[in-house]
Amino acid sequence: MDKLNIPTKNRNKAESVAYALDNSDERNQEVNSKARLIASIAVVLPLIIALYHYLPHIIDAFAFDLLKLNPESHLGAAVNFFFYDTIKIVILLFIISSLMGVVNAYFPVDRLRIYLTTKKMYGLEYFFASFFGAVTPFCSCSSIPLFIGFVKGGIPLGVTFAYLITSPLVNEVAVAMFLGLFGVKATVIYAGTGILMGMLGGFVLGKLKLDKYLSDWVREIQDNAIQEQEEWDAEKLSFLDRLPSIIKEGWDIVRKVLLYVIIGIAIGAAMHGYVPENFFTEFLSADKWYAVPLAVILAVPMYANAAGIVPVIQVFVAKGVPLGTAIAFMMAVVGLSLPEATLLKKVMKWKLIGIFFGIITLFIIILGYLFNLVL
Amino acid sequence: MEIKVLGTGCSKCKSLEKATQEAVALAGVEATITKVEDIVEIMNFGVMTTPALVIDGEIVVKGKVPSVNEIVKLLSK
């Protein structure tokens, strides 16, 4: 890690130039595979866009002409809804994951850490931490190493929390599901307030001076934190060389959550037909003052990933629950959960987890009321 | 050759371990593969994104699962 960068880089370059000259065959092959890559993107991308555009017609033809279902019937509508939403969301998820993959290829979290530790940012660091929490693919198993990595680099606890809050809350899956089921406006509101809440939550938690409630071994790391001056050692790969692995990773994300998307949409489709309207509106309608806190407090211990929960809250909204209450519910489900608390236990004491969860719960409740006022 | 797979036990970490075993078999190299699951030990390598692959003390992959072929390439370096 602490090797001298410049000489190594130059040497690598010299070696690779010599290598390339020696292997003109291999270089031809490389040019060929690049041409193939460009050609296949030029074919596949318009196809995907066309598919997305004509999807309603295609699914109508499939459900009503091919399967001969009655569009008026319950089953016909449910089958149509299920296939349309699933395919639409898979397309959106694939495109969004790939776009986020591009951001991550050029601005990985190691680089963010160096930025956060070496540059004076006058408060903007909360924005950066929160924003990158949103664009990095979320994996709960990565959040602890990240946490330690930030602490080790001497990044203040509040900034670390900003990242930790947004990371599960706003991610490629949540954005794709929101875009597919609620449209652009709700997506922007969700992602925007998610990032804003990461910033504010991180800032407030930072001001509370909670470092003493970190686990002892983490405190030790913090005391020995070193300001890394090392520049980020960028991989010298062209965009085209990176593209295959970016696309592959985007597709991996789709494959991994596909099952949850299908289950979520299936539950949503089933609930549309069979759960009576007053079941939700009894407790969660707009005129009940306690609707927001009730929804949020119920949701905190629960965990579901965004793929599973968005179709369900879409049903809530369709049955008359205000969008703000529904979004608050969703934020509490994906952002805070018992499994996450047990993970965090490795790096912080229960008291800190309690304060962290308490403050974020409060924020989500306030946001829920605000949404209901504004939307 | 000494290979370490760093990961706290998520599904990605398991698939990296499996891919590494396949790659070692394919490349026909003499190597010991150990899985490092202890978070404190993982942090000593300075990685922030798991899973990660360490070959002879050097971090060669972090935060993703490369294909078997890519690992073979890394092994033959």
Per-residue model confidence as pLDDT tens for chain A (375 residues): 444 444 444 445 444 444 445 556 666 777 787 888 888 888 888 888 888 888 888 888 888 888 888 877 777 777 888 888 889 999 999 999 888 888 888 887 878 888 887 877 778 889 999 998 888 776 666 778 888 888 888 888 999 999 989 988 888 888 999 999 898 988 998 999 999 999 999 999 999 988 889 888 888 888 877 665 555 555 566 777 778 888 888 888 888 888 888 988 888 877 766 666 666 667 677 677 888 898 898 888 887 778 888 988 888 888 888 888 989 999 999 888 888 888 888 889 999 999 999 999 999 999 999 888 887
Q: Does B9 touch chain A (CB under 8 A)?
A: yes
Q: Is residue A9 part of a domain?
A: no
Q: Is residue A13 part of a domain?
A: no
Chain B residues in contact with A248 (beta carbon < 8 A): 67
Q: Is residue A208 part of a domain?
A: yes
The mean pLDDT value for B4-13 works out to 81
For the four alpha carbons of A279, A281, A284 and A289, in that order, the dihedral sign comes to: negative
Domains of chain B: residue spans and CATH: 2-75 (3.40.30.10)
Closest by Cβ to A1, choosing from B11, B46, B48: B46
User: How far is the alpha carbon of A367 from chain B, nearest alpha carbon, in Å?
Assistant: 31
- A149/B39 CB distance under 8 A: no
* Structural domain total, chain A: 1
- B12/A148 CB distance under 8 A: no
Which one has a higher pLDDT value, B45 or A327? A327
- Per the CB < 8 A criterion, the answer to whether B5 and B12 are in contact is no
The C-alpha atoms of residue B66 and residue B18 are separated, in whole angstroms, by 11
- Give burial (CB, 10 Å; 0-12/13-18/19+) of A65: exposed
- Chain A residues whose C-beta sits inside 8 Å of any chain B C-beta: 1, 108-110, 113, 139-142, 144-146, 148-150, 152, 217, 221, 245, 248-249, 252, 256, 346
Q: Does B39 touch chain A (CB under 8 A)?
A: yes
Q: Is residue A341 part of a domain?
A: yes
User: How far is the alpha carbon of B59 from chain A, nearest alpha carbon, in Å?
Assistant: 9
Whether omega for the bond prior to residue B51 falls within 30 degrees of 0, making it cis, is yes
Angle between helix A124-135 and helix A74-106 axes, rounded to 10 deg: 130
Q: Is residue A140 part of a domain?
A: yes
Q: Does B14 touch chain A (CB under 8 A)?
A: no
ipTM exceeds 0.90, yes or no: no
- Per the CB < 8 A criterion, the answer to whether A261 and A89 are in contact is yes
H, E, C per residue of chain A: CCCCHHHHHHHHHHHHHHHHHHCHHHHHHHHHHHHHHHHHHHHHHHHHHHHHHHHHHHHHHHHHHHCCCCCCCHHHHHHHHHHHHHHHHHHHHHHHHHHHHHHHHHCCHHHHHHHHHHCCCCCHHHHHHHHHHHHCCCCHHHHHHHHHHHHHCCCCHHHHHHHHHHHHHCCHHHHHHHHHHHCHHHHHHHHHHHHHHHHHHHHHHHHCCCHHHECHHHHHHHHCCCCCCCCCCCCCCCHHHHHHHHHHHHHHHHHHHHHHHHHHHHHHHHHHHHCCHHHHHHHHCCCCCCHHHHHHHHHCCCCCCHHHHHHHHHHHHHCCCCHHHHHHHHHHHHHCCHHHHHHHCCCECHHHHHHHHHHHHHHHHHHHHHHHHHC
The mean pLDDT value for B10-17 works out to 82
Distances (CA, A) of A362 to A194, A295, A324: 14, 12, 15
Q: Residue A36: its pLDDT value, please?
A: 84
Q: Are strands B52-55 and B2-6 parallel, antiparallel or unpaired?
A: antiparallel
Q: Does B42 touch chain A (CB under 8 A)?
A: yes
The C-alpha atoms of residue A49 and residue A67 are separated, in whole angstroms, by 25
Coil, strand, or helix at residue B35? strand
Closest by Cβ to A141, choosing from B13, B43, B48: B13
The C-alpha atoms of residue A115 and residue A124 are separated, in whole angstroms, by 11
Chain A residues in contact with B9 (beta carbon < 8 A): 141
Residue A172, domain extent: 109-231+270-374
Q: Residue A8: its pLDDT value, please?
A: 46
Q: Residue A139: its pLDDT value, please?
A: 65
Q: What is the pLDDT of residues A6-58, one digit of tens each?
A: 444 444 544 444 444 555 666 677 778 788 888 888 888 888 888 888 888 88
Q: Would you please indicate which residues of B are annotated as catalytic (active-site) residues?
A: 10, 13
Q: What is the pLDDT of residues A103-115, one digit of tens each?
A: 888 887 878 888 8
Q: Residue A24: its pLDDT value, please?
A: 63
The mean pLDDT value for B13-39 works out to 87
Q: Is residue A128 part of a domain?
A: yes
The C-alpha atoms of residue B70 and residue A156 are separated, in whole angstroms, by 37
